Chains A and B, each alone.
Chain A
Amino acid sequence: MPASKIKSYGDVSRVELDRRAFRKKQSKKSALISCVSLIAFASAIYLLLSNSTGWEKVRIAFFSPEYFLDALPVVFEGLLKNLQILIFAASGVAVLATLIAVVRTSRSAVLFPLRVLASVYTDIFRGLPMIIILYLIGFGIPGLRIFGRIDAGLLGTIAIIIGYSAYVAEVIRAGIEAIHPSQRAAARSLGLSHSQTMRIIILPQAIRKVVPALMNDFVSMQKDVGLVSVLGVIDAVRSAQIMVAKTYNFTPYIAAGLLFILLSLPFIRLTDWYTAKLRKREQMEGAV
């Protein structure tokens, strides 16, 4: 019987009681050490900052409570714009990245040109800094004067979709390639068509395999939607910037930063929780 199955606490042997007592003492000791080092570290930083000659100026420029309270509602309204862009961009990335991954993993001769296109695309857009993609799309497309006036938020959303799809497509492709070839063969031999096999058998398994990586990309996208401010979109960053320009006080940036952190925290926690759950399951499988 495996040790983990023992759930009765009544009759535990002396040796085990001894071991438990020792472990308890050990963990108390390490908790104490962590606390002490944390306090020491924090005090060191505090002393360093407060004794630096510029600290007083920085405190006023970045951490003024009055400016903070003034900025918060304005910046919050801007954040709603970021949130809106995030939702549209994430949906767009899900679709485009999946399509690219499917094209890149297909072996059909008919799709060869598309496959080349997809691989050139992922090469280019994984290398290009997000800010350059934003400039290219945000100022390049309107410059063509084909579509008339286009909303800057829409252009920003498109740029983010294009930039992130290159990454996410590669993650999904790795997931697809991790599926054992027999799965495809088994599906095809049941008479499922190529696209049914992809849709019903391969993709659901592939995506499940890469969920932690996808969640990570989503977190990083949450903050990158702040970059659309360079196109003049009135988002959280841009709102803060406008206030800073008026008052020469940088506290609105801190407010915007704080809101971005708060926006990402729930999802970051979710990612941690899910990754830990997966690891636990894998360890259990390893034990069988």
Chain B
Amino acid sequence: MMGGEPVLRLENIRKRYGKNEVLKGIDLSVFHHEVIALIGASGSGKSTLLKCVNLLENIDDGQIFLSGEDISDPRVDEDKIRGKIGIVFQNYNLFPHITVLDNVTLASKKVLKIPKAQAEEKGMELLSRIGIAQKAKVYPDQLSGGQQQRVALVRAIASNPEILLLDEITSALDPQLVGEVLDLVRELKEAQTTILMATHEMSFAKSVADEIVFLENGVVAEKGPPSQIFDHPEKQSTKDFLARLKA
């Protein structure tokens, strides 16, 4: 067990859509520099959980703490909190009507109010890091799907968020483009980024995550280090889920 206050702590998170209770009391902690992978069947509530953490959805019960601050309290400044949490979705992350560089620098300029020149310098640095500095002035539709997701990743970390949330960021990509995106996530982990990610790339989760959380029907059915979850799952439902993936 790591010491200190976790970056993110979820306590008994509940979320309903109408009568459909999607999250039924989730407890979860993410510590500094940890990478946690959420796995589970489609519809098990992974995306909903990430949206709740990012305050894009209101929870119906429970508490969310970011570095100790209760961000589920309606009195917090939601925009400010969201600025401290990065999120990347499956697709439609980039804004198609502004250039790649503007996508990366938008938050620095409009939210953090950093001067344009400084923001663009940092933006170019980030784009160079992912090897597409020469595409800075083009529009996102001229990038490949893999490049788009990598830009979305560096855009999310451009404002130094405390935690990065990733929601199946490779599931809309052609198989040959998945690798470059996962490589970048691996690099981010090495740079000590704190990450909570929903993924269906099991071998990736196994090699990168510090902890695997298996969601089933809105509850955490089992969690533990990858070696335990993938090689010696305790619960029958976990075994069934993994077996279905292999089939």
A interface residue numbers (CB < 8 A to B): 180, 182-183, 185-193, 196, 200-201, 204-205, 208, 285
Query: A204 to B95, alpha carbons, bound, how many Å?
Result: 10
Known contacts: A191-B82, A205-B97. The answer to whether A183 contacts B56 by CB under 8 A is no
Closest to A194 in B: B79
A186 close to B106 (CB less than 8 A): no
Known contacts: A182-B89, A204-B97. The answer to whether A189 contacts B82 by CB under 8 A is yes
Closest Cβ of chain A to B132, distance in Å, is 19
B68-112 interface code vs A (CB 8 A; 1 in, 0 out): 000000000001101111110111111111000000001100111
A182 close to B92 (CB less than 8 A): yes
B107 close to A180 (CB less than 8 A): no
A192 close to B89 (CB less than 8 A): no
B159 at the interface (CB under 8 A from A): yes
A201 in complex: contacting residue of B95, B152, B155, CB < 8 Å: B95
Chain B 154-181 interface residues, beta-carbon cutoff 8 Å to A:
155-156, 159
For A196, the chain B residues whose CB sits under 8 A away are 110
B93 close to A192 (CB less than 8 A): no
Q: Which of B89, B152, B155 gathers most chain A CB within 10 Å?
A: B89
For B186, the chain A residues whose CB sits under 8 A away are none
B122 at the interface (CB under 8 A from A): no
Q: Give the 6 A-B CB pairs with smallest separation, nearest first.
A: A191-B83, A182-B92, A191-B111, A190-B107, A180-B92, A189-B87
For A190, the chain B residues whose CB sits under 8 A away are 82-83, 106-107, 111, 155-156, 159
Closest Cβ of chain B to A235, distance in Å, is 38
For A187, the chain B residues whose CB sits under 8 A away are 95
For A200, the chain B residues whose CB sits under 8 A away are 106, 110
B79 in complex: contacting residue of A180, A186, A193, A205, CB < 8 Å: A193
Q: Which of A183, A185, A191, A208 gathers most chain B CB within 10 Å?
A: A191
Q: Which of A185, A205, A208, A285 gathers most chain B CB within 10 Å?
A: A185
Known contacts: A180-B92, A200-B110. The answer to whether A189 contacts B85 by CB under 8 A is yes
Query: A9 to B106, alpha carbons, bound, how many Å?
Result: 48
A191 close to B95 (CB less than 8 A): no
B32 at the interface (CB under 8 A from A): no
Closest Cβ of chain A to B81, distance in Å, is 8
B interface residue numbers (CB < 8 A to A): 51, 54, 56, 79-80, 82-87, 89-97, 106-107, 110-112, 141, 152, 155-156, 159
For A205, the chain B residues whose CB sits under 8 A away are 95-97
Number of A-B contacts (CB under 8 A): 63
**What are 27 A-B contacts with C-beta separation under 8 Å?**
A182-B89, A182-B91, A182-B93, A185-B87, A186-B87, A188-B56, A188-B82, A189-B54, A189-B56, A189-B85, A189-B86, A189-B87, A190-B82, A190-B83, A190-B111, A190-B156, A190-B159, A191-B79, A191-B82, A191-B83, A191-B107, A191-B159, A192-B106, A192-B107, A192-B110, A205-B97, A208-B97
For B111, the chain A residues whose CB sits under 8 A away are 190-192
Do most interface residues of chain A lie in helix, strand or loop, or is the interface mixed?
helix
For A193, the chain B residues whose CB sits under 8 A away are 79
For A183, the chain B residues whose CB sits under 8 A away are 92, 95
Query: A190 to B95, alpha carbons, bound, how many Å?
Result: 12
Closest to B158 in A: A190
| Given A189-B54, A191-B79, A200-B110, 4 new contacts (CB under 8 A) | A188-B82, A190-B83, A190-B155, A193-B79
A186 in complex: contacting residue of B84, B85, B95, B159, CB < 8 Å: B95
Closest Cβ of chain A to B191, distance in Å, is 20
For A204, the chain B residues whose CB sits under 8 A away are 97
Closest Cβ of chain B to A287, distance in Å, is 14
Closest Cβ of chain B to A205, distance in Å, is 5
Closest to B51 in A: A185
A192 close to B79 (CB less than 8 A): yes
For A188, the chain B residues whose CB sits under 8 A away are 56, 79, 82
Query: A189 to B54, alpha carbons, bound, how many Å?
Result: 7
Query: A217 to B90, alpha carbons, bound, how many Å?
Result: 37
B96 close to A186 (CB less than 8 A): no
Query: A186 to B149, alpha carbons, bound, how many Å?
Result: 13
For A192, the chain B residues whose CB sits under 8 A away are 79, 106-107, 110-111
Query: A182 to B172, alpha carbons, bound, how many Å?
Result: 14
Closest to A207 in B: B97
Closest Cβ of chain B to A200, distance in Å, is 7
